[in-house]
Amino acid sequence: MTTSAATARSGDVLRRSADWARRAPLLPALIFTIVVTQLPFVVTLIVSFMDWNAYYPDERGFTGLTNYKRVLTDVNMRDAILTTVLLTVTVVLVSLFLGLVIALLLDRKFIGRGAVRTMMITPFLVVPVAAALLWKHALFNPEYGLLNGMITAVWRLFGSDHPPQPDWISTMPLVSVETALIWQWTPFMMLILLAGLQGRPLDVIEAARIDGAGSWQIFRYMTFPHLRQYLELGALLGSIYIVQNFDAVFTITSGGLGTANLPYTIYQTFYQAHDYGRASAAGVVVVIGTIIIATFALRTVSSLFREETSR
């Protein structure tokens, strides 16, 4: 009786130490991630209930939900939420659509396919700040930007001396930011979708063709369902990055003209207005919003993931 209990216990100990041996390689990464990414957020949560402005250090103290009331009733903050949603949805959907069209074109054999693919990738490889500077100064500039320069050249060609010279960024600020972002993110979507296209089961498609299925039918009933998970993956990863976009808004419009998204607004509240309490409350609001979206997004990835591991 005692011996069997002892062996059971020692087996227990053995199993537990084996478990820890398995966990050991995981722990450094896990602890590092929790300390660097989760701990700051706990601090943000605490500061969000505080009245804390670096300009008035004496007035520091807890104020309950005041910051949240201010954040949720602040017109700027509500505009920022709307801008963030609009910016993210527009950029993700347009670049996904363009990426799909281009991926379908690149999935065919034609002369110089590799060269076109390389050309398509280039925008994604330009450093985001550099890309934003390029669009702002070299392309959108109303006096000597390439867009208006080309308009002038075309108008001259037809003998007109009064070409329209729109001030792109002032007249359509959000579209300007979106254009620059779509230019950078279309290659990203294209790469993921092209890889998805090339992983299609070609023999099945060949069989469908022999059975008399048209190109549209093959796209609608075979290619598209296969691509769906890649479209979802592209949309998810694109959203993660574009929701957090700071570089383009900061560089192209400095958050002016109604283009201030949440990251930029929070950056401003904290870095320029030094209102730590309100910036933190806004941060918490963003996180809650992100968690709601992320729950859906994670479900998408996990379905993709199950499919991959079951293969």
Partner 1 sequence: MTSITDTAPVPASRTTEGAARRTRPPRSGMILGMVAWLIGILFVLPVLWMLLTSLHSEAASATNPPSIAAPLTLQGYREFFGASSGASPWPPLLNSVTASVLSTVLVLLFAIPAAYALSIRPVRKWTDVLFFFLSTKMLPVVAGLLPIYLFAQVAGLLDNVWLLIVLYTSMNLPIAVWMMRSFLAEVPVEMLEAAAMDGAGLVRTLREIVAPVVLPGIAATSLICFIFSWNELLFARVLTGTVAQTAPVFLTGFVTSQGLFLAKVCAAALVVSLPVIIAGFAAQDKLVQGLSLGAVK
Q: Which residues, numbered 142-161, are part of the site for partner 1 (CB under 8 A)?
A: 143-144, 146, 148-150, 152-153, 156
| Closest to partner 1 by CB, 47 or 169 | 47
CA 132 → CA 91, 129, 135, 163, 189, distances in Å? 15, 5, 5, 26, 19
| Closest to partner 1 by CB, 2 or 311 | 311
Summarize the chain as % helix, strand, coil (round to 5).
Answer: 80, 0, 20
Build a one-symbol-per-residue string for 29-68: x at contacts with partner 1 by CB under 8 A, - elsewhere: xx-xx--xxxxxx-xx--x---------------------
Site for partner 1 in 86-105 (CB under 8 A): 100-102, 104-105
Q: Is 221 one of the binding residues for partner 1 (CB under 8 A)? A: no
Quote the least distance from Cβ 13 to partner 1, whole Å. 17
Beta strands in the chain (DSSP E): 50-51, 61-62
Site for partner 1 in 231-260 (CB under 8 A): 233, 237, 240, 243-244, 246-247, 250-251
Q: Which of 7, 10, 118, 171 is the binder for partner 1 (CB under 8 A)?
A: 118
Q: Which of 2, 73, 272, 309 is the binder for partner 1 (CB under 8 A)?
A: 309
Q: How far apart are CA 98 and CA 238, in angstroms?
A: 14
CA 140 → CA 87, 88, 152, 183, 186, distances in Å? 19, 21, 14, 14, 19
- Of 144, 241, 129, nearest in space to 180 by CA: 129
Quote the least distance from Cβ 8 to partner 1, whole Å. 20
What secondary structure letter does DSSP report for 222?
Answer: I
| Closest to partner 1 by CB, 6 or 40 | 40
Cα diameter, the chain: 106
